[in-house]
Amino acid sequence: MKDKDFAINNEEQITLTRDNVSSAVIKRLPRYFRYLRILIREGKMRISSAELSRRMNITASQIRQDLNCFGGFGQQGYGYNVTYLYARICELLGVSAGFQAVIIGGGNLGRALAKNEMFEKRGVDVVAIFDVDEALVGTTVNDIPILHIDEFERYAATHTVDMAVLTLPKAQALEMAQRIAETDIVGIWNFTGQELDSVDGNLIVENVHLGDSLMTLNYRLNSRNKE
Amino acid sequence: MKDKDFAINNEEQITLTRDNVSSAVIKRLPRYFRYLRILIREGKMRISSAELSRRMNITASQIRQDLNCFGGFGQQGYGYNVTYLYARICELLGVSAGFQAVIIGGGNLGRALAKNEMFEKRGVDVVAIFDVDEALVGTTVNDIPILHIDEFERYAATHTVDMAVLTLPKAQALEMAQRIAETDIVGIWNFTGQELDSVDGNLIVENVHLGDSLMTLNYRLNSRNKE
């Protein structure tokens, strides 16, 4: 089975960031993070680019090039120091930054995310969930309190919140993003499918387009059927 | 606001498929699909690569190159025929193939997906949800019946199912993938975070790593904080 790990969404433009790390490398960092976690769990102290290449299905030369970008220089005959690389990637990715998140939308998707250990693994603390449904307000999901959306501005003004995870219906996404833009919250993790580009130049929006991933699977099934 | 639409997961290897459409182009197709849908909804019959470039935040030359790959030739002074391009991309992506899907795992994520119009929009029919929970069996989500997981093999043998959407806990993913491999189901849309590469060479697995997207947002927030 060839697992392509196709992207949910893509912009292939290669731009250089402040740190001279290209956006293409940045896009691969979370993947290195995942594989390095596994190596650490296995107690592996060092790894060659060849072995990492086999595991990650990326060419060894690509790996060397990527890791050199942020100072992960392998040593001939020794390979890479796994713990050092992991720490460096955590630092770049802000895993140790202690970000706090709120989830806006306590429906099935919001609840699924609230229960997901992904946040904890990546150093993000989910501190509250907001919803309009009076029946949900006052309950908790995974020990995270559900608050009424009317409380949002007051909460944002009195707590440190770095990102809002938008899992509310698409029709309400734009208005909510405008409300967020008026608080100190900078990041939006957007599951709504609504384009939020034009809301506010200070917001950092990360879109999840699950439909794009589904389409890629469709494409691969369709190509296979034609063979 | 610069919306990067960063990828959930990435493999940058450029390989040519049977149709000589590179995997990098294929990865961008779902995005073209989304934007062309919007154009059709707006009643737009044709579009120049320059305008599409502005909307999609991809360079015009990249767009021309991509669309040429599958015969979407723009005409000088006219631009691209939106309906033709959309139809061609639908065909390539298998939107009209009438794929049928089952969701395995009737928890919050499975239910969120079952209610999501994304499947319908992309021509995929969700025909059943499977779960172990006796309390869920016999109920429906969005008119889709929840069946007991013990019924899975019998259902797969008597229905046409093209893909299984795995939303069950990670710990059960490997065993479930093995059960799927023994049926005629070829596609797995994998939300479990469990690597399923080694299960069966005939399976087509599309992984969704939401954590990678979260990490990209972390990175961008972290970079901004340092500025």
**Domain residue spans of chain B:** 23-93, 98-211
Interfacial A residues in 109-148 facing B (CB < 8 Å) = 109, 111-113, 115-116, 118-119, 121-124
Residues from chain B that touch A27, judged by Cβ atoms under 8 A, are: 6-7, 10, 216
Note the pLDDT of residue A161. 96
Cβ contact (<8 Å) for A227 and B93? no
B217 touches chain A (CB under 8 A): yes
pLDDT in tens, B60-78: 888 988 888 776 667 777 8
Count residue pairs from A and B with Cβ separation < 8 A. Answer: 274
Q: Could you give the percent of chain B with pLDDT greater than 90?
A: 51
Nearest CA in chain A to B217: A206
- For residues A198-203, average pLDDT: 90
Note the pLDDT of residue B93. 83
ipTM above 0.90, yes or no: no
A8 touches chain B (CB under 8 A): yes
Please give, rounded to a whole number of angstroms, the shortest distance from the CA of B3 to a CA of chain A.
6
Q: What is the pTM of this model?
A: 0.79
- For residues A180-189, average pLDDT: 97
H helical segments located in chain B: 23-41, 49-56, 60-69, 82-93, 108-115, 118-121, 152-158, 173-181, 210-226
Q: Among the listed ranges A36-50, A127-141, B163-177, which one has the minimum average pLDDT value? A: A36-50
In this structure, whether the domain defined by B98-211 belongs to CATH 3.20.20.70 is answered with no
Cβ contact (<8 Å) for B214 and A18? no
pLDDT over 90 at B18, yes or no? no
Contact criterion met (CB below 8 Å) for B128 and B156: no
Top pLDDT among A22 and A199 is at A199
Measured between CB atoms, which of B59, B111, B205 is closest to A108?
B111
Note the pLDDT of residue A187. 97
Residues from chain B that touch A8, judged by Cβ atoms under 8 A, are: 7-9, 208, 213
Confidence label for B145 from pLDDT (cuts 50, 70 and 90):
very high
Confidence label for A8 from pLDDT (cuts 50, 70 and 90):
very low
Cα–Cα nearest to B219, from A108, A28, A94: A94
pLDDT over 80 at B227, yes or no? no
DSSP letters, B55-97, are HHTS-HHHHHHHHHHTT---BTTTBEEHHHHHHHHHHHHTGGG
Q: Is residue B8 left, alpha or beta, with left meaning phi > 0 and alpha meaning psi from -120 to 50?
A: alpha
Provide the token pair at B3: 């919306």
- For residues A209-221, average pLDDT: 91
Q: Most A CBs within 10 Å: which of B15, B194, B214, as the mutation test of the A interface? A: B214
Which residues 6+ apart lie within 8 Å of B134 measured at CB?
A: B148
Architecture of domain A23-93: Orthogonal Bundle (1.10)
- Euclidean distance between the first and final Cα of chain A, in Å? 16
A178 touches chain B (CB under 8 A): no
pLDDT, mean over chain B: 86
pLDDT over 60 at B158, yes or no? yes
Cβ contact (<8 Å) for B112 and A115? no
pLDDT in tens, B178-219: 999 999 999 999 999 998 988 998 999 999 999 999 999 998
Provide the token pair at B38: 């919007």
Cβ contact (<8 Å) for B224 and A204? yes
Which residues 6+ apart lie within 8 Å of B217 measured at CB?
A: A163, A187, A189, A204, A206
Confidence label for B11 from pLDDT (cuts 50, 70 and 90):
very low
